[in-house]
Structure 1
Amino acid sequence: MAVNVCWVLIVLQALLVVLFAVYVRYEDNYDAMKYPLFQDIHVMLFVGFGFLMSFLKRYGFSSVGFTLLLASCIIQWAMLCQGFARLDDDYKIRMGIVSVYKADIAAGVILISTGAVLGRVSLMQLIAMGFLETVVYCINLHLGSEVLRAIDAGGSMFVHVFGAYFGLSVSIVIERTNNADASDEISLRTSNYSSDLFAMIGTLFLWLYWPSFNAVDLTGAEQQRAIINTYLSLAACCVLSFACSILTDNDKKLDMMHVQNATLAGGVAIGAVAGILKQPWVAVVIGSLAGIISVLGYAKLMPILETNFRLYDTCGVHNLHGMPGLLASVASAVIVGVTSETGPPDSLYQDLPGMNSSSDSRALKANLSVFGARKAGEQAGYQIAALTLTMTMAVIGGAITELGEALFPEINVVKV
């Protein structure tokens, strides 16, 4: 079976080589300012996500090894998928630093979904899921950001919500098509001292570099605010995560799953509004809420979903990415909805797309070219519309993808 996987990988890489040779060329402009942030995202992807999932004592090597392989495949495929939507007059894809970090982000979406099903699908099924999910992700991203013009600089909706609920949808279909015992599914999450310690490496790298993830698509004052707001949100989230972990434990002790995961929820929850918030206390509030929601998800909601709905989430992506992403999406709609187009310069928001015709924001100019200026309530409505679209695309796409993976049942897991 392992030989089959080898040939599939060779053929896939050969096809990618052909597509790159035919369609891809370098662009002339080089944005040197983006490269340091790209490096941060690269570290998050390969070190952060890989080691975060290594808490599984039975699948520690697989989580790190498969992360490296899967991300390497998806980065190439995502460059092509995103580039095909922006072919130049010669039908070529112009590639630069921006293309690379956007591909890294797309690979991050796939790794989020992988966390929901890790240990329960084969390597070939993960690769098939990744390639199909990348296509759906690119379509949803285009509709949400280019057509609906939703505000989501840090990817709370288009990255975290999409990746989490796509993976959960795949997980649900898996459970509907097999007869695995519940105790076997839950036992996947068992850890030991060494695996938990290695997982903390992933947590620390993600925690340290998350501001770059939320700020990479912004410039100037917006980028600075995004970096500071993300740090504040993460710090507040960390404090509340530790407190809630102790309060929810019967023995009043810390749960390492909460420490490894819930402490990161603040980065997810602030992503959609990190660049537009001009009052730091709001970032602290959002981060605090994210920590509480995430810990409660792990401690209270996850057992209910497993027992009553057979919804097994190996790495708890619903609690780290799904619910904090929903919080961010709702927060973005509320914050946009309560703004005034004539507010003072130091108000809660600035340069909201489509809401102020005097702004020189790049996102705003692109927005005005499609819709014209929007009122606050209208933009809030588009935020909810983008969230609804993302949830729908993720759930349907995940269900269809898992059904399609039945084409590869004979290609089993490669043991690492």
Structure 2
Amino acid sequence: MAGASTSMRLRLPIACIALEVILIILFGVAVEYDHDVSGEAGHKTNTTHHDYENEFYYRYPSFQDVHVMIFIGFGFLMTFLQRYGFSSVGFNFLIAAFSLQLATLVQGFLHTIMTGGKIHVGVESMINADFCTGSVLISFGAVLGKTSPVQMLTMAVFEVILFSVNEFILLSLLNAKDAGGSMTIHTFGAYFGLMVTRVLYRPNLDKSNKKNSSVYHSDIFAMIGTLYLWMFWPSFNSAITLHGDIQHRTALNTYYSLAACTLSTYAFSALLNHEGKLDMVHIQNAALAGGVALGTAAEMMITPFGSMIVGFLAGAISVLGYRFITPFLESKLKIQDTCGVHNLHGMPGILGAIVGAITSLAATKEHYGNGLTAVFPKITSDFPASAQAGMQAISLVVTLGIALIGGIIVGFILKLPIYGAPSDSQCFEDGVYWEVPGEPEDCQELAAVKSGEESEKLN
């Protein structure tokens, strides 16, 4: 969008430089390698059995899969908007790169509160930081096309902190199980983002806006993100589970849940269309809901049979959400959910939390054998499976509470007139923030509008 005078000329550089300088200083003061990285675990010049006990060899393949999901999967999934592809992939890249650094600090600080000392980083902290980043990107999907990059960075700062606090409460204080993040990642990210976009509601933007829609090639690009996410989701859910049978079971359960979810998605997409045609929006998103819905229970003895039932239900719920609930949220509750995160992450995340509670309730030594305490360390004669199920249910309530309240507060912070937010005419438009080659005439007109608005502000 050549010649456009945007409010990002100073705001974005100042925000990026200031935030990164702060991060570098904090890393210098508070962060050090963990024992698997620093050499404290022992150093061998030759490859030995001891070397392969390093967490890197177990975790790095899963980390790479999760990393691909964060940067390619989420990034390309959001390229469905016909004139917001640069921003979808580009701002996803920016927000993710920032969030994973901040998450390392905040998560590390919370985990060292009890022990003191510095924050130790290794491959597992990298995975956990990516998980937090995933939640931020889910929220990004709810406000996609309607916020400036400085608003997105600001939202990421607050969400990383709130996510980490919620995760610490659930996993460390309530001892909930949530390996794949149905609650901590998906439910939290979805409802936080929904509350932010509710506060930032724009009455002049609705589904009739021609730029808030896809075209043939943009939907194909979005399917790239879908397929990457679909293929790597077993790694996502199993990335931080214990080595061996538990990690194996987690990946297997997720694998079957995704497969069943895909058939359910195709079935309900065609069923709900009066002409019996498939809707690409459903295929791009609802086919992934099986991975979301199995995030909590994936490491449990839910069996392939149970996993397939959960996946089938998740696909149906997600398609029904896109068909009926999204229009209701926008028309009645004034929630403009650009990517439909409520349908892919919100409702399937709640389903996953419920499935996790039910599966926990049925946990017995008869089913798990000697592996019961590996999955549920707290279950003993004094802390029965019913108590664990109760903790799972309470964790869902806590997650929803922090996400909803936090999203409302952050939404009002983002509403302050200091971020260079786009006007209604500039929403869903790459040309506001990017040099777009071969700009059409309407982009040039938008540039003129933008320049006029800036001139009025200066006068």
Taking structure 2 as the reference length, what is the TM-score of the superposition?
A: 0.83
Shift of 1:195: 0.3
Per-residue deviation, residues 186-241 of structure 1 (Å, max 9, x unmatched):
64540001100000000000000000000011121111011111010000000110
Do the aligned partners of residues 309 and 345 (structure 1) sit closer, same or farther apart at CA in structure 2, a change above 3 Å counting?
A: closer
Matched, 1:415 2:430: no
Matched, 1:398 2:439: no
Do the aligned partners of residues 187 and 149 (structure 1) sit closer, same or farther apart at CA in structure 2, a change above 3 Å counting?
A: farther
Q: 1:260 aligns with which of 278, 284, 287?
A: 284
Shift of 1:327: 0.6
1: CA distance, partners of 2:119 / 2:365: 41
User: 3-state DSSP class of the match of 1:54?
Assistant: coil
Q: 1:62 aligns with which of 79, 84, 87?
A: 87
Per-residue deviation, residues 133-164 of structure 1 (Å, max 9, x unmatched):
00000000000111111111110000000000
2: CA distance, partners of 1:226 / 1:338: 17
2:73 corresponds to: 48
**Aligned residue identity for 1:117:** V
Matched, 1:108 2:108: no
Q: 2:198 aligns with which of 153, 163, 172?
A: 172
Do the aligned partners of residues 49 and 345 (structure 1) sit closer, same or farther apart at CA in structure 2, a change above 3 Å counting?
A: closer
Instruction: Say if 2:183 and 2:296, in contact at 8 Å, map to a contact too.
Output: yes
1:134 corresponds to: 160
The 5-angstrom pairing of residues 130-169 of structure 1 reads: 130-169=156-195
The 5-angstrom pairing of residues 236-385 of structure 1 reads: 236-339=260-363, 341-345=364-368, 351=372, 359=373, 361=374, 364-365=376-377, 367=378, 373-385=382-394
1: CA distance, partners of 2:70 / 2:367: 39
* Root mean square deviation, CA, Å: 1.9
Q: Which has the larger radius of gyration?
A: 2
2: CA distance, partners of 1:392 / 1:345: 33
User: 3-state DSSP class of the match of 1:252?
Assistant: coil
Shift of 1:364: 4.2
Shift of 1:180: 2.5
1: CA distance, partners of 2:116 / 2:396: 35
1: CA distance, partners of 2:267 / 2:433: 38
Matched, 1:227 2:251: yes
1: CA distance, partners of 2:408 / 2:302: 40
Shift of 1:250: 1.8
Instruction: Say if 1:189 and 1:315, in contact at 8 Å, map to a contact too.
Output: no
1:356 corresponds to: none
Q: 1:4 aligns with which of 11, 19, 30?
A: 11
2: CA distance, partners of 1:136 / 1:290: 27
2: CA distance, partners of 1:147 / 1:410: 36
User: 3-state DSSP class of the match of 2:360?
Assistant: helix
Matched, 1:24 2:31: yes
User: 3-state DSSP class of the match of 2:35?
Assistant: coil
Instruction: Say if 2:238 and 2:250, in contact at 8 Å, map to a contact too.
Output: yes
Do the aligned partners of residues 179 and 254 (structure 1) sit closer, same or farther apart at CA in structure 2, a change above 3 Å counting?
A: closer
Shift of 1:293: 0.4
Per-residue deviation, residues 288-317 of structure 1 (Å, max 9, x unmatched):
000100000001111122122211110000
2: CA distance, partners of 1:33 / 1:390: 30
Taking structure 1 as the reference length, what is the TM-score of the superposition?
A: 0.91
User: 3-state DSSP class of the match of 2:227?
Assistant: helix
Matched, 1:207 2:230: yes
Shift of 1:411: 2.2
User: 3-state DSSP class of the match of 1:165?
Assistant: helix
Shift of 1:92: 1.2
Percent identity over the alignment is 43
Do the aligned partners of residues 181 and 189 (structure 1) sit closer, same or farther apart at CA in structure 2, a change above 3 Å counting?
A: closer
1: CA distance, partners of 2:417 / 2:247: 44
Instruction: Say if 1:333 and 1:384, in contact at 8 Å, map to a contact too.
Output: yes
**Aligned residue identity for 1:277:** M
Per-residue deviation, residues 56-109 of structure 1 (Å, max 9, x unmatched):
112111000000000000010000001112338673111101111111111110
Shift of 1:408: 5.0
**Aligned residue-pair number:** 398
2: CA distance, partners of 1:65 / 1:87: 34
2:44 corresponds to: none
Per-residue deviation, residues 27-52 of structure 1 (Å, max 9, x unmatched):
12141210000000000000000000
1: CA distance, partners of 2:307 / 2:419: 49
Do the aligned partners of residues 238 and 350 (structure 1) sit closer, same or farther apart at CA in structure 2, a change above 3 Å counting?
A: farther
Shift of 1:375: 1.4
Segments of 5+ residues of structure 2 without an aligned counterpart are 1-6, 37-53, 423-431, 435-459
Instruction: Say if 1:277 and 1:283, in contact at 8 Å, map to a contact too.
Output: no
Instruction: Say if 1:277 and 1:350, in contact at 8 Å, map to a contact too.
Output: no
2: CA distance, partners of 1:24 / 1:130: 21
2: CA distance, partners of 1:49 / 1:392: 25
Shift of 1:415: 1.2
Shift of 1:280: 1.1
User: 3-state DSSP class of the match of 1:85?
Assistant: helix
Instruction: Say if 2:150 and 2:419, in contact at 8 Å, map to a contact too.
Output: no
**Aligned residue identity for 1:192:** V
1:195 corresponds to: 218
Shift of 1:373: 4.2
Do the aligned partners of residues 79 and 337 (structure 1) sit closer, same or farther apart at CA in structure 2, a change above 3 Å counting?
A: same
2: CA distance, partners of 1:344 / 1:328: 21
1: CA distance, partners of 2:381 / 2:24: 42
